[in-house]
Structure 1
């Protein structure tokens, strides 16, 4: 459970956050596991990836051991079902509203659930650093395709599936521990950041690189950073403001503040008193 800020310091931090958002023509948002857990999902690295790490499984072991691959696919199948049953939460919907206002440069996310797109943010505006669970990919030829094409033939009883093109080993679209974030995704994140006036960091402890590097890029470029998280992060000193509170509640307050400062345009044919 998140712990909201109370008292004058918390109010001042939220006011400073709202001031930064109002002043920014374009905002790049970095989201982490706290945004997914708001939707009822476990942290993929806590409930899936870290479980593998605790058992000592690495990408190299996935490649070397049929039993490890079977266990991987059993867990991946379970997590995929959880994602398919999840719906966008308050933070996802609030960021979609920010995009509709034309204020969102991009969302750079460490999450793999596709809920930003599910809330209405166009796929081209979402940079998924760690991949997405809705896909599967070949470790040999790099072929990527929708995960549902795997059907139900994955799991401990079936072992790991193979690529129809080259017979290489298939793996889920979400990066496994030991895999590197692609340079293309990192470059896309940097480009989006450099087009922005603010980096808004939501629901992440910033303990995982290279996502955490975005704060240093922002500082070097003179772009202010605002952090909203349920607990303090290890990079709070790089932020112009930190708000330790429920992320969804803070974003709703932020949107209310924007509505007062810049009322949303009426849809064609609508009337202010309708």
Structure 2
């Protein structure tokens, strides 16, 4: 099995060398290696601190208070998380001009922390490292929100319009960022290699992106510890940690 994995990793790098336009699509699996908990691992703190649905957040002051309490509990779980080898490897592809952008389902900001410019990270599910006003869109920094929330127990309100302020993630029931999804679809149509890293490919519509790329003629590689429903259409499937598989790129 180890020899098979090593052969698959060697084939991955050969495919990367041959490709002209590589789109990386990342999920929770790349960040668990940095200590960021995922949703599906048994005992995950996300099971205790589940995100509050968007409709409840908007309609209820009490729900907003609880959402912010859970938000800061989860932030403390991965406060010291830093980009790992996998993040740095994908950042290298962008820096070398071989990848136009990284599409991610993650909300941790670790791709940007690895050196990828913000305009080259397409965040389909938002970003948990800051907050925005739901009324006017003004950006609010967590460093200012947290002490005020912990001192008063009141949910934050926008300094510009007094509207409700929410973590800049996409909650259950909240509309996906259409501009980001459209850009991701365009990249899937234009690339010649679509590289899935650490995604279980069960969340839609994001999971349609590998299908779009494959139908357009791109090579599809899935690097994930567990099987996915799209494994049968992939050109290469690798069961390994992303850091180990991508280390050669990061060096």
- The answer to whether the Cα contact below 8 Å between 1:215 and 1:238 also exists between their aligned partners in 2 is no
> Is the aligned partner of 1:90 residue 2:88?
no
How many residues get paired? 248
> Is the aligned partner of 1:244 residue 2:239?
yes
- The runs of 5 or more residues in structure 2 that have no matched partner are none
Partner of 1:208: 203
Instruction: Give a deviation string over 1:231-260, Cα, whole Å, max 9, x none.
Output: 11121122111001111100014x28xx8x
| Offset at residue 98 of structure 1 (A) | 2.2
**1:116 partner SS:** helix
1:158-177 alignment runs, 5 A limit = 158-177=153-172
Select between 240-249 and 40-49 the one with higher mean Cα deviation. 40-49
| Offset at residue 83 of structure 1 (A) | 4.6
Distance of 1:187 and 1:194 partners within structure 2 = 11
**1:178 partner SS:** coil
Partner of 1:145: 140
| Offset at residue 229 of structure 1 (A) | 0.6
Partner of 1:52: 50
- The answer to whether the Cα contact below 8 Å between 1:67 and 1:159 also exists between their aligned partners in 2 is no
| Offset at residue 84 of structure 1 (A) | 4.2
Distance of 2:25 and 2:47 partners within structure 1 = 20
Aligned partner of 2:102 among 107, 117, 123: 107
Distance of 1:159 and 1:245 partners within structure 2 = 44
| Offset at residue 136 of structure 1 (A) | 0.8
Larger Rg: 1
Distance of 1:236 and 1:158 partners within structure 2 = 47
> Is the aligned partner of 1:122 residue 2:120?
no
Distance of 2:47 and 2:172 partners within structure 1 = 7
> Is the aligned partner of 1:178 residue 2:173?
yes
> Is the aligned partner of 1:34 residue 2:63?
no
Distance of 2:47 and 2:99 partners within structure 1 = 30
> Is the aligned partner of 1:6 residue 2:12?
no
Aligned partner of 2:75 among 63, 75, 80: 80
- The answer to whether the Cα contact below 8 Å between 2:133 and 2:158 also exists between their aligned partners in 1 is yes
- The answer to whether the Cα contact below 8 Å between 2:136 and 2:161 also exists between their aligned partners in 1 is yes
Distance of 1:156 and 1:61 partners within structure 2 = 23
> Aligned pair in 2 of structure 1 residues 108, 50: CA closer, same or farther (>3 Å)?
farther
- The runs of 5 or more residues in structure 1 that have no matched partner are 260-274
Compute the TM-score of the two structures, normalised by the length of structure 2: 0.89
Distance of 2:199 and 2:45 partners within structure 1 = 16
Compute the TM-score of the two structures, normalised by the length of structure 1: 0.82
